[in-house]
């Protein structure tokens, strides 16, 4: 009998994204030590799915909890299948600044860059 490996999720968070997340969380009042950033996929956008980032006080049952350079990430089981292997970056340009997502699981995207299909 061979053992079945537990599912895992791997997310890359660039140094600029880590810095921005830490700055944002530092400005939130009364966050407990258990707080982290929920990274998830939600239905919506013009291509079917969009990314969601929210600060939450603690993980939920069944979440993957990842530590990326001192930033705690919470990923639910549904989102994990779409986020495995993703790179989260924070960029600044003449058009503005914000988080970007390089998702190897996406089979299509939209012109605005905020949603994807898989």
CATH code at position 98: 2.60.300.12
What tens digit of pLDDT does each residue of 29-59 get? 889 999 999 999 988 766 678 889 999 999 9
Specify the number of domains making up the chain. 1
| 114 within domain boundaries | no
> Can you say whether the dihedral through the CA atoms of 47, 82, 27, 94 is positive or negative?
negative
**Helix segments in the chain, DSSP class H:** 15-26, 77-83
Q: Which helix (H) or strand (E) holds 32?
A: none
What tens digit of pLDDT does each residue of 15-31 get? 999 999 999 999 988 89
What tens digit of pLDDT does each residue of 53-111 get? 999 999 999 999 999 999 999 999 999 988 999 999 999 988 888 898 888 877 666 55
**Integer Rg of the chain from CA:** 15
The whole-angstrom separation of Cα 60 and Cα 64 is: 9
| 117 within domain boundaries | no
The whole-angstrom separation of Cα 39 and Cα 51 is: 7
| 7 within domain boundaries | no
């Amino acid at each position: 009998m061979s053992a079945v490996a537990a599912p895992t999720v791997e997310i890359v968070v660039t140094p600029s994204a880590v810095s921005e997340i830490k700055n944002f969380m530092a400005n939130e009042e009364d966050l407990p030590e258990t707080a982290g950033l929920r990274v998830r996929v939600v239905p919506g956008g013009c291509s079917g799915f969009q990314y969601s980032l929210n600060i939450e006080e603690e993980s939920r049952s069944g979440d993957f909890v990842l530590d990326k350079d001192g930033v705690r990430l919470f990923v639910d089981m549904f989102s994990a299948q779409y986020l495995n292997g993703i790179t989260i970056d924070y960029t600044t340009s003449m058009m503005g600044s914000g988080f970007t997502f390089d998702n190897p699981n996406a089979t299509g995207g939209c012109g605005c860059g905020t949603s994807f299909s898989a």
